Amino acid sequence: MRVEVRLSGFGGQGVVLAGYLLGKALSLYQGLEAVMTQSYGPEARGGASSSNIVVADRSIAYPFVQKADIFAAFSQEGYSRYRDATSSEAIVLIDEDLVTPREDDRVLVIPATRLAEDLGRRIVANVVMLGFICATTDLVTREALEQAIRTTVKEKVVQLNLEALACGIQHAQLEGLR
């Protein structure tokens, strides 16, 4: 098993943190091999960024994403820049309020930013998307993501992030995607 994941958006959306949480959940709490690389645009905040995770059940010889199997876009620029670098069977997830997909594209949609705002903090849209990924793929377990959150984010925002994760999972369930 080898799965390539790309999360993309713009600086300030927590794309790199989301990739870190996902990689940590997979490697430390699911016992898989995982490696993460990241890319930033020349502008730190507002520029395009991506987080790329390769996960496998054996040693990873080549740690870079070539054709993503799972692609989550948090912004239009991220979608436009990386959409073509996905496999033909890729699972494509988008923040429906920030990304307009191509007409012929099959995507799973979630209003991640809006749901995060409903929780009181727009910044947890990245974790809402992780919950959506958890619920719509068989890649990572909820328990592993919860443990990664508990051991990574500041204690004062652990509960908010756990609620954001649950929100993304619940959205997929309400949409009949899981």
Q: Could you give the 3-state DSSP secondary structure of residue 124?
A: helix
Span 34-38, average pLDDT: 94
Find which of 78-82, 155-159, 171-175 is predicted with most confidence, using mean pLDDT.
155-159
Q: Which domain holds residue 127?
A: 2-174
- Its sign, for the CA torsion 80, 85, 87, 92, is negative
pLDDT of residue 155: 95
pLDDT of residue 42: 58
Total structural domains in the chain? 1
**Which residues fall within 8 angstroms of residue 51, CB to CB, at 6 or more apart?**
6, 7, 8, 15, 16, 18, 19, 20, 22, 36, 37, 38
Q: Quick check: 37 pLDDT over 90?
A: yes
Q: Residue 40: which pLDDT band, with cuts at 50, 70 and 90?
A: confident
Q: Residue 43: which pLDDT band, with cuts at 50, 70 and 90?
A: low
CA 43/CA 101 separation, integer angstroms: 24
Q: Residue 89: which pLDDT band, with cuts at 50, 70 and 90?
A: very high
CATH number at residue 23: 3.40.920.10
Least confident of 25-29, 82-86, 163-167: 82-86
pLDDT digits (tens, 9 = 90+) for 47-85: 678 999 999 999 999 999 999 999 999 999 999 999 999
